Structure 1
Amino acid sequence: PRPVRIIAIGAGFAGLSMARAVNTGSLQNAAITVYEKNSDVGGTWYENRYPGCACDIPAPNYQFSWAPNPFWKSYYAKQEDILSYMRSVAEQHNLRRYVKTSHKITNASWIPEREVWQVTVTKTDGRDLVISSPGVTDGETSTTFVEECDILINCTGFFNHWKWPNVQDREQFGGRMLHSAAWPQDTDQDIKGKTVALIGNGSSGVQILPAILNDAEKVYIHIRSPTWVTTNFASKFAGPGGSNYDYSEEQKTAWAKDPDAYLRYRREIEQELNSRFGLYIDHSPEQKAAREYGIREMANKLGERQDLLQALLPDFAVGCRRPTPGNGYLEALTSPKVQVIWGTVEAFTEKGIRTLSGHETSDVDTIICATGFDLSCAPRFPINGLNGTNLQQLWNENPRSYLSVTAQDMPNYFGFLGPFSPLGHGSLVTSIEMVTKYITDFVNKLQTQNYSYCVPKAHIPAAYQRHALAWLNKTVWASNCSSTFKNGTAGGELNSLHPGSRINYFELLRTPRWEDFEWKSLCESEDLTFAWLANGLTYRERNPAD
């Protein structure tokens, strides 16, 4: 195959997966550089380090199939254990040699005359950008340079662009203000024995409350919207009531000695994860059962505080927002140390928070904003393709893709978990592996059949978007709730879910539809149509090992 240069952006699960494709020879004659803005690999699991941070997908199924770890400490892994796993994968599979940390991409432009991507890279001062406020510039020691590549792969994902809540007078607060997605290392003194105000009851908020409750003197929790607080995914194999539990040393050793038994266990969990798709279909029997179960479980965990149940129960379907697993959260709400404050936060004050209804606290030492991320699909930097298209601008206005991987007017551009990807259920690591294989198929075709680039045909992304929205209209995701699937809005269009099950998505990726793409040949002359057949020999003939 002809040589290609690849730039991948981000060294989380997706970036490591692409590096492995080169390292193992799935991509031959390919050079890859993975640029990572932070000082280490890990992506989301490097950046999110707040108290209680954990994955709601079982650990045995939240890992690469090619790097199974039988030594997970618990059924649902904590952030530090997932990060440790990712670091060990990078080391053991010799992937760090492809990664350049403390390098941030600030611009990418397709150069049509030369049919390459020109990528602007800023080498930062080594400071972890995640713990700085959005918009803070790099230090004076940063340097900028330009690299070129044939293939550009965006591996940055969703959960990397946090935002302060849109609340006035943030600078007026006299204590310490923290954000769940930018958690510094030195926070013990800000929680222990202090009065804490926690804003938000989304995925991070429900994990933080029980994690800080023992240390804090008092906690005000500000809840704006009702939500379904559920058990974690695949709770069938979890502890009592869907709780987490630690694996015994005997169990871990047994799996290490018998990989086939460990694989069977993971398959059982995977089957459980995939069998729950029916609950996302509006008015289905599974949806009805999920609602009844959710009400019963929330009532049981709130005990005598049924007044909280009436306020917490949503009027929208289970799954309209991504379910909010929260082991210990509902029980924490009933603690005498916790005061629930309902309604929208209007302003910060010197000593606390004022809500729109007029409630005001005046004894707060620390505020924790568990207010999430900018979940638009738009890239965090300009990406300029054909016909003057800027993908950042296009997706800010109307996010659409083809199978969540390729984009309008973006030649030789691929991405992970873009618009209309299966974010609503199951392990994203499995999806990342499937997308990696899909991208690899495209790159192999470009290399072996003498194409300089491929790009979705002009009508394809819009047509796919129309199909997706029409299909998704029958799901609970389309019902009236404010959700991450609509970038935090209630009435907006869905932009981040596959129109079908994740198994359906995987099957689509297995057999690429080449006919949905324009393919630009390296050979303009008809006389050279079959130049891609080269010298009539194969690489394998020169390598007896193959």
Structure 2
Amino acid sequence: MTATSTTDQPEQPDYEVAIIGAGISGIGAAIALRRAGIRDIALFERASDIGGTWRDNTYPGVGVDVPAQGYQFSYALKPDWSRVFAKGAEVKSYVDDCADRYDIRRLVKLNSEVTARVWDDDQSLWRLTIADRPVTARFVISAIGPFIEPKPPAIDGLGDFEGTILYSTSWDHRVGLAGKKVAIIGTGASAVQIIPEIAHEVARLDVYQRTPIWVTPKPDIGTPELASVLFKAVPPVQKLVRNAAARMMEVLLIGVAVNHETLAAVNHGTTRALRDIWYRLQVRDAVTRRKLTPDYDFGCKRPATSNTYLQTFNRPNVELVTDPIGRITRGGVETVVGIERDVDVLILATGFRTATDPEAYRRTPVRGRAGFDLATFYSEHRARSYESVSMPGLPNYFTIFGPYGWVGGTWHDLVETASNHIVRVIKEGHRRNATVVEVREDAADRWTEFARERMSHSVWAIGNCATANSYYYDHHGDTTYIRPTSAREAWHASRTFALEDYEFRFGPPIDIAFDGIEVAQPIASLSPADR
């Protein structure tokens, strides 16, 4: 239910803007707000440190699967990335540096999990429950990313296992693997990085694969010192490199996958090249190679990049198991055909609940105007949004990554684009002295229909994806993960969408902390081509 206040006196919120999450999304949103002059901000982080996925994921081999030059904010370029595909610790260091450089760390409240978000229509503010205490905010920005929490594996007997269980999202580095019998369940992006790193030290490694994954070559080399010197001395050169790296990723994702109807021949050519050339060069045994080769089109499921993953299955101590798991026993893993393999250490790399999974909002509910409940909505209705940033029923509430949210370049493009949109709305509300802003129903319906129509031409709609088991599809069968536009289109829309697509309403007197200072070069003024 929508919260209601018992007092007739207008209540001033504790914060103008509450940001949930202090990873790349939350820090990027906070930087954008501060650069726009909005300073009454708090970031609530459930963990004991900032960094999001780069804090949580420290498993062997963790690193970016896109070029590091593209994996950074346009206004905070790092000239000395150590290699093309940076390792996790270096990315975490970059996130820390951004937080310090833009004075964001002091705004972060650590060990502060937001367990409930409830809109108070009488007072025009959000009531948050944080570590069992109430906090109020005029606006809320959800910056928790696309992967909300690890998905519990639905495997019988997991609680009976007497060995050691490791999780890709919370790796225990005190556990040694040398000489042990190890099994890993899952062959997604994390597993692709873990498996080659541990295969050489374990006595035996059983890899339990439900769905094979397309794995592309990884041009991973160290960054030449001369390049770092040049980037530091002439930043515009690095901007060009960053843009090129981001656009290259965008061509693969948006240019080919979303425009599958037009570019199906390119997709099929890529699929054949991987299957007939790359996989043959990497895997010697024909039976194993056939099991590792997907039977769906490239792009249906998020591909991985690695020069070592496929080769790992040439090792005599590595076995690929494709029979479904029947149960976990006290001492190992038993498949449905009755074969049990002894295991000392079990590694779970079984994926996450995504941002439109209703279960992600059961434990930490989001309840808006007139009884709107986000978990119920996602459960009973197809996902929708306005520019992936806002939804009707959730006043003064924005999401960095909402339905149809992934911008085709890199995550930082997405964060900057969404932040531009949010800043425009908040500042317009301030200009109009409005305490409530909410996207109109017709605007959300119109934009969602636009996204769905574009998606109807994609590989996910008309390609060969039936066996992909891809998290790109939600439980309604829609592919709401990807924004079916270019990064340039998304950036332009964030600066030009009609403000009248929002309703601005008036409630208790507004008291916004706003610097009113001039910012020499606000983020919103830079196009992808200029970054």
TM-score interval, smaller chain: 0.7 to 0.9
Q: What is the aligned partner in structure 1 of residue 472 from structure 2?
A: 485
Once the two structures are superposed, residues 248-301 of structure 1 have per-residue CA deviations (whole angstroms, 9 ceiling, x without a partner) of 333322322222222222233233233333321335232122112221343243
Q: 1:271 to 1:469 in 2, by over 3 A?
A: closer
Residues in 2 aligned to 1:301 and 1:102: alpha-carbon distance in whole angstroms: 48
**TM-align CA RMSD:** 2.6
- Residues 8, 35 of structure 1: 8 Å contact kept: yes
Equivalent residue of 1:198, what SS?
strand
8 Å contact from structure 1 (residues 164, 369) kept in 2: no
What percent identity do the matched residue pairs reach? 27
Distance 1:17 1:85 in 2: 12
- Contact 1:22–1:31 under 8 Å retained in 2: no
User: Structure 1 pair 77/443, CA: closer, same or farther in 2 (3 Å)?
Assistant: same
Moved more, 77-86 or 278-287: 278-287
Name 1:515's counterpart in structure 2.
Answer: 500
Show the counterpart of 2:375: 392
Contact 2:123 2:507 in 1 (8 A): no
Counterpart for residue 528 of structure 1: none
> Secondary structure of 2:330's match?
coil
Kindly provide the amino acid, as one letter, of the partner of residue 299 in structure 1.
Y
Say if 2:381 is the partner of 1:382: no
Report the equivalent of 2:206.
220
SS in structure 2 of the partner of residue 45 of structure 1: helix
Report the count of equivalent residues: 493
Indicate how the Cα distance of structure 1 residues 458 and 268 shifts in structure 2: closer, same or farther if over 3 A, else same. Answer: closer
- Match 1:196 to one of 182, 187, 192: 182
User: Which of 331, 338, 346 in structure 2 is aligned with 1:351?
Assistant: 331
Contact 1:422 1:502 (8 Å CA) reproduced:
no
Specify the alignment match of 2:453 in structure 1: 470
Query: How far did residue 444 of structure 1 move?
Result: 0.5
How far off its partner does 1:209 sit? 0.4
SS of 2:54's partner is helix
Tell whether the 8 Å contact from 1:196 to 1:367 is kept in structure 2 after alignment.
yes
- Counterparts of 1:450 and 1:475, CA distance in 2: 43
- One-letter amino acid matched to 1:149: A
* Secondary structure of residue in 2 paired with 1:432: helix
Separation in 2, partners of 1:465, 1:397: 17
Query: What does residue 140 of structure 1 align with?
Result: none
Equivalent residue, structure 2, for 1:23: 34
**Which amino acid in the other structure matches residue 447 of structure 1?**
H
**Partner residue in 2 for 1:206:** 192
**2:25 alignment partner, one of 2, 8, 14:** 14
1:408 has 2:408 as partner: no
Q: 2:82 aligns with which of 73, 79, 83?
A: 73
Question: What is the aligned counterpart of 2:146 among 153, 158, 163?
Answer: 158
Would the alpha carbon gap of residues 115 and 217 (structure 1) be closer, same or farther in structure 2, given more than 3 Å must change? same
Q: Secondary structure at the match of 2:47?
A: coil
**Structure 1-normalised TM-score?**
0.85
Contact 1:5–1:149 at 8 Å: present in 2 too?
yes
Q: Which runs of 5+ in 2 are unaligned?
A: 1-11, 523-531
Q: Residue 164 of structure 2 corresponds to which residue in structure 1?
A: 176
Q: Deviations over 1:17-58 (max 9, x none)?
A: 12213433x134x40000000111101111111111111111
Between the aligned partners of 1:168 and 1:301, the Cα distance in structure 2 is 38
Q: Secondary structure at the match of 2:390?
A: coil
Q: Assess, with a 3 A threshold, how the Cα gap between structure 1 residues 21 and 204 changes in structure 2: closer, same or farther.
A: same
Deviations 1:312-347 (A, max 9, x none): 222221101111223310001111110111122121
Contact 2:280-2:289 within 8 A present in 1 as well:
no
3-state SS in 2 of match to 1:455: strand
What amino acid does structure 2 have at the position aligned with 1:366? V
Sort the Cα spacing of 1:279 and 1:268 in 2 relative to 1 into closer, same or farther, 3 A: same
Aligned to 1:279: 256
Q: Residue in 2 aligned with 1:327?
A: 307
**Higher RCO, Cα 8 Å, sep 6+:** 2
3-state secondary structure, aligned to 2:98 = helix
Tell me the alpha carbon deviations over residues 418-476 of structure 1, each in whole angstroms, 9 at most, x when there is no partner. 111126x4311111011111100011001111112111223443444344333212211
Aligned residue in 2 for 1:230: 216
The residue that corresponds to 1:246 in the other structure is 222
